Structure formats: C-alpha cells, structure tokens
Amino acid sequence: MFWHGKSSEAGTGWGKRGAVQPPCGRRMVMPDPRPCVNLKVGAVWGLVTLLFMLSCGGGMQSIKGEDKAFLEKDFWQRAEAMFGEEGGGYWTREKQTEVRYEGGNWFVRERYHYQIVVLDADNLGEYADFSIPFGPSSRLLSVKARTITSTGEVIPVESSNMHDKSRMPGFMLYSDRKARVFPMPGFSDRCILDVAFEREDEALYFMDEFDFGARLPVHKASYSYSLDSRVYLAGFRIYYRSYNVAAKPVDQSYETHFGKMVMWKWDLEDIEAYPEERWMPPRERFLPRVALAGFAPDEQPDDWDTFTHWYASVLPELDEPHPEVVECAYQVAGHIEGEPEVLHAVLEYMGENTRYVSVDIDDSGWRPHDPREVLENKYGDCKDMSCATVAILRQRGISAFPALVRTQDNGPVDPQLAVPLFNHMIVYVETADGEVWLDPTAAPCPVGYLPEMVRDLDALVIKGKKGVWKRTPDTTPYGSARTTVTEITLEATGKLKGECRTTYTGDLGVERKRSYGEKSRWELGEKVEEDVASCFRDVSLDTCLLVNIGEVDPVVTISGRFTKPSAAIRLEDRMVLRLDFLRPMVAGLAEMPRGTERKYPLWVPFAFEEIDTVRVRVPAGWEVAELPMDVSSPAKYGSYDLSCIRRDQSVIVVIRNRLAAGEYQGERFNGFLDFWSQARERTSQDIVFKKI
C-alpha cells in the first residue's frame, strides 16, 4: 500500500538544481525486537528480567525517548481533533530519495517512514496489514515496523512474520513483481502504526514523484532528495515541478570531499483527507505532489528526446519476424487485404483472446513483455497488449507504433517538464486513409473507438528512437446513450404491470460490457437485476434477462418484467397515473446535497443522453381525460424534453435527457442541481383516465 506513482494535475512552481545533498530528516528510533539482558547485572535481576520477557511474549517493550509524546493526553486530544472524523490519520508521511549515477545507470535509494494514528480500528481495518512492493530492478534493503499501544507498549513486527509474496499470483508474466507483507501486531483502537523501509531501484532513466496527501488526513508530510557527487560530476541537472504545493523547498548547500552537495526538502503540515464523493473528479488532480527528472547539460527541461531514446531501448523488438508473431498475424488476418479490415480483425482477436491484467507502472513496470510471451500466455497489461498489437500489424505491413498517454482522470502530461508520468499505452496507426487510434485494452470495440479517458489527449508516439507528439481524437463513432422502451398494462385497480428493454451504447455500452465481463455467472445475474431496477422506482421485479452483448460494437441490451401494486390512484370515476415510477440516470442529481456540502466539484467525464419511451395501454372501460404537457428546456447543463401522443388504445410518452460533460462547483454546481431538479418535476407529470 506504500509506493509512489499516483498523479495530479495543475500545479505551481518549478525549478532546477545541479546537485542535492543527502536528506537529514528525523530518524525513527526502532528498538531491538528482543529486550536485552545485561550480563553484568546479578543473576537474580537477570532472572527477573527473563521472567518479564516471557510474560510479555518476548517482543514487547516499553515506550521511551521522543515517542513518549504519544502517551501524553495533549497528543490524543490533537489526534481526535485532526483525525476523529476519519477514524485516524498520518502523523508522519515521509520519503527521502538519494540518487547516484554509476556506469551509465541511475541508482535511486528511497527511505519511507509512516506513522499512522488509529483511533477507530474498524474504520481503518485496511491498515492492519502492510504490503511493500518491489520488482526485478529494485530490492528492499530493510523493513522495520512496530505498533505502539495507548498504554505505552511497543510491539515490533518480527522478521519471521514478514513474507515475500507475488503481487500477481498465478500470472507468470508478472512473477517478478513481489511484495513484502506482514500484519501489524496489537492493531486496535488508539494505537500508532510505525513503519519504515528502505528500497533501492536501478534504472536507465531518472524520475521520481511524491504525493504529500492521502485518503486519510496528514499531520506532517516531508519529501527530500539528494544527489551523489557522481551525478553532479557527470553534468546532470535535476528539475522539479510542484503541483498544488504553494510552499517552496528548503535549499541547503555545503561542501564535502566529494564536492558540493545540496538538499531540497519540502515540509507540509495539516493536509486534509481526500475522501470519496459521488460524481467527483479523481482526487489525484487535487493532491499536493512533486515530480522530478534528470537531464544532461545540453538538454532542456521540455526536451523529451532523452526519455524517448531511453524508452525505445526498453521496448521489445517489434519488427522482428518471430515465427509465433508471423503465424498469429496470418492466422488472424492473412486472408484479408484492406487495411481497415486487417485492423478490425487484429483488434477483435486481441479483445477475444487476450485478457487484460492490470499491473502498477513502477520502475520495472515500464518494460513491456515480448509479444511472443503475451500471445502465448493470452494476457497482459496495456503495454503488453499494445506492443503485441503493434508487432502483429507490422507483420502485415501496417505502420503501427506504441503511444504513451496520461488518462484524463489524472490530468495532462506537463509539456514544460519531461517527467514521464504516463499511465497508459495505446496504438497509433498510419494508414493510406489517415491516422487511426486503437486501444487493445478496450477491445473488442470498433476500429477508431477510444474510451473517454484517452480522448483529446497529447500522446507521445514512439517511432524508432524518437518521440512524436500527436493528439488523440475528441470524438467517438458511437454516441453514449441509455435507451429504455417500456410497455405498461394498467389495471382498473391501479396495479401496473410492465415489460422493459434497455440498451446501452457508446461509452455506457463499453462500461456495461466491461462490468458484465468481470462478473461470475451468479454475480452477473445480480448485476443485470440491479441495472434493470435502476430504471424504475419502487417496483417489484419478476424476471431479468441479459439479451445481448455486442461482439464488437459497444452495445448491451437487458430486459425485465415488473409490477407495482398501487401505481395509479382511484378518485371516484378518475384514475391518475403519475410518471414518477420512471427513474432516469439524471434523477440522482436532483437528490444530491448542494455545493456548500461538497469538497470537490461535480464531474461529468463524458456527455450522454437517455431516452425513455413508455407506452401505457388504456384499461378496458376507461378513456384518456388528460395528457402530460409537452416540455422542452435546453441549457448549458444539458436539456430535457417530454412529448406525449395518443395512438390507438395507448398513450405514448417520450422523455429525453441530455447531460453535458463538464465540472460544476460553487454557484454553477447549485444551478446544475436546480436545473435537474426542475427536470424531474416537469417530466413526472400525470396521465388522467376517466371511466366511460
């Protein structure tokens, strides 16, 4: 749970420094896990001490030194004031980075230190076990952990309770991604979790980043980095970019026998928690964060050539006609000549035969696996699947290239500083008809379809040893919509019986396809039932059915039957049916609290529309007395419309809501909610029947 690599967006301040000095942050006092017996003391005292050790389980110690502050009443009062609402928080969140350059490689040593105050153990149960990741290019040098109880007892984590486990068990491609895991002893209300570890990574390219904030509030967050003199003597410069950080770093310089050393250090205090809110932007965009990268003297901070030259060197050979790749290329599309048809066949093959398995992009995660391994194992992450797609297409003579992007939910790549904070890879193709973009992780989808998170982005296309910046399309061949057709039979008693059929297309269809694909057989039934029920209010479902999932097109159709015993109200010779049993997706917006109660803006990542067509059969012995009034209301937030007609012995009502993409906060947020509250009221009209 403790590794860097998350993201943020707009920031403030950037700078450079020729060299930096080893960090000098506060050292955590880690007691020896076994109490020590002084052999110079008398035998009686030794026996007493030994008995005390046994009574404490052999590993428990008393708190001492600066940690005694955790026992003071004032500490727990402050902790309750700062962390009480979340049930706990970080008292200390610290990272120190030391960098050296040797033999053409970068060696990055990281020291992490976390002190977590647990006030409510039930609420913070996820912190009862720790997981520290490492990979083939990184190694853990030390791990120390202990729990400090509210009574002053210190319970160290014994080395025998630490185990190395695969982060991706069952997946041979990622068997080198491991983690050291261990439970925290004495985890309970009012305790302190104290964890420190040191890790060293070897890389061909230097970059680093640190998030000061977290899901929990943070009392003190500290980040520092320093350079070995060999980095300075090799002529490298380190540039940084700070995001959502107003404070300037402390700059300390001094001379050593190796040369001039400089340390940069940021200290932030009292950082608020970043909780989850409904319809919120990714909180990474608001996190205070610092990112760094190293450059040679003849390079500039916005020069991406160094990175692209390095990254091209870690890519697998994509042009080599390996028999496995050639065989796959001609097995999948050997009988097809047209470029669009070949692209379609390969993308469909990847979607149907290769399973997407997500792997964190840490230093070792930058390297995609050989396409032969991916095709043989039939799974991979975005890098693996994209490179395999590129290799297959190149064997058919199509110019395809891997392209690195940073998805919209994490904010754009900063062109002013070449820190490669990419989190996704897609495929860029040059055809006779123009540029085409593919995302194998979203396959099977139509050629040219990109999920909303990778649209209208700067993409770094790796062409040979060079990088070329391109812009991904801002549109999709399919509009995003939820379309529901409902047949209603209304009885004279007011009971309602209905049959519905709902179709999701575009982004909503892709979302449903992925959601359904991740479910087991029994979970799938529950999910379909949940989605059918979400279209209505207070109805009883009788049956639910998954009708269709498009093989390639982003289309999903579900259906169901339902009843509502008292849907209509009888008033002597009149019967009133209110349309509020329909529940459009935007109805939830009218139920949200106003902007003053939100921490984040409301975020709609993509535009969509929903169309509800309801046909109500007129009960025998009754006729229509009043119809709903037509409504049409466009606005900057979207629009809503209602139209109603009589046809034969039925009333047909069509309600259409269009939701615009965007962020809404402050008065704009309140206006947004008011608009959809009004939409709910104006479209929940009555159909009045009278007895003949």
Confidence of residue 451 (pLDDT cuts 50, 70, 90): confident
What pLDDT, on a 0 to 100 scale, did the predictor assign at position 360? Answer: 66
SS (H, E, C) 284-348: HHCCCEEEEEEECCCCCCCCCHHHHHHHHHHCCCCCCCCHHHHHHHHHHHCCCCCHHHHHHHHHH
Query: 307-471: same fold as 14-25+40-295?
Result: no
CATH of domain 307-471: 3.10.620.30
User: Alpha carbon 488 to chain centroid distance?
Assistant: 41
Whether 651 and 627 have beta carbons less than 8 Å apart is answered as yes
Q: What is the mean pLDDT of residues 235-256?
A: 80
> For the CA atoms of 350, 354, 360, 362, what is the dihedral angle to 10 degrees?
-70
Q: What are the residues facing 489 on neighbouring strands? A: 497, 617
- Maximum mean pLDDT: which of 205-209, 242-246, 364-368, 497-501: 497-501
Q: What is the mean pLDDT of residues 654-672?
A: 88
Q: What is the mean pLDDT of residues 150-166?
A: 92
The one-letter amino acid code at 303 reads: D
CB atoms within 10 A of CB 314: 12
Kindly report the pTM of this predicted structure.
0.75
Per-residue pLDDT tens over the stretch 196-208: 999 998 877 788 8
Q: What is the mean pLDDT of residues 171-180?
A: 84
As assigned by CATH, the class of the 14-25+40-295 domain is mainly beta
What pLDDT, on a 0 to 100 scale, did the predictor assign at position 173? Answer: 82
What pLDDT, on a 0 to 100 scale, did the predictor assign at position 349? Answer: 92
What pLDDT, on a 0 to 100 scale, did the predictor assign at position 594? Answer: 66
For the cut 80, the answer to whether the pLDDT of residue 34 exceeds it is no
Whether 126 and 183 have beta carbons less than 8 Å apart is answered as no
What pLDDT, on a 0 to 100 scale, did the predictor assign at position 554? Answer: 86
Per-residue pLDDT tens over the stretch 608-628: 999 999 999 999 899 999 999
Structure tokens at 452: 């909303």
For the cut 50, the answer to whether the pLDDT of residue 587 exceeds it is yes
Average pLDDT, the chain: 83
Instruction: Scan for tokens 């279209």, then name that residue.
Output: 535
Taking the CA atoms of 450, 454, 456 and 460 in sequence, report the sign of the dihedral they define: negative
DSSP assigned state of 244: S
> For residues 622 and 123, what is the distance between their CA atoms, to the nearest angstrom?
57
Q: Which CATH architecture has domain 481-500+533-544+561-691?
A: Sandwich (2.60)
Pairwise pLDDT comparison (303 vs 391), residue with the higher score? 391
Pairwise pLDDT comparison (382 vs 335), residue with the higher score? 382
Domain assignments of the chain as residue spans, ordered by start: 14-25+40-295, 307-471, 481-500+533-544+561-691
What pLDDT, on a 0 to 100 scale, did the predictor assign at position 10? Answer: 28
DSSP assigned state of 536: B
Strand residue runs (E) in 335-457? 355-356, 379-380, 399-405, 424-431, 434-438
CB atoms within 10 A of CB 637: 22
Confidence of residue 51 (pLDDT cuts 50, 70, 90): very low
**pLDDT-wise least confident of 7-16, 297-306, 663-672:** 7-16
Q: What is the mean pLDDT of residues 40-45?
A: 35
DSSP assigned state of 667: H
Strand residue runs (E) in 159-257? 163-166, 178-183, 191-203, 207-211, 218-227, 237-243, 250-256
Confidence of residue 193 (pLDDT cuts 50, 70, 90): very high
What pLDDT, on a 0 to 100 scale, did the predictor assign at position 309? Answer: 85
For the cut 70, the answer to whether the pLDDT of residue 353 exceeds it is yes
Strand arrangement, sheet containing 650-659: 540-549, 555-564, 496-505, 481-490, 608-617, 650-659, 638-647, 631-635
What pLDDT, on a 0 to 100 scale, did the predictor assign at position 577? Answer: 93
For the cut 70, the answer to whether the pLDDT of residue 20 exceeds it is no
Per-residue pLDDT tens over the stretch 564-585: 988 899 888 999 998 988 988 8
Q: What is the mean pLDDT of residues 216-220?
A: 95
Per-residue pLDDT tens over the stretch 90-105: 999 999 998 888 888 8
> For residues 651 and 674, what is the distance between their CA atoms, to the nearest angstrom?
29
- Helix count and strand count (H, E) for the chain: 11, 37
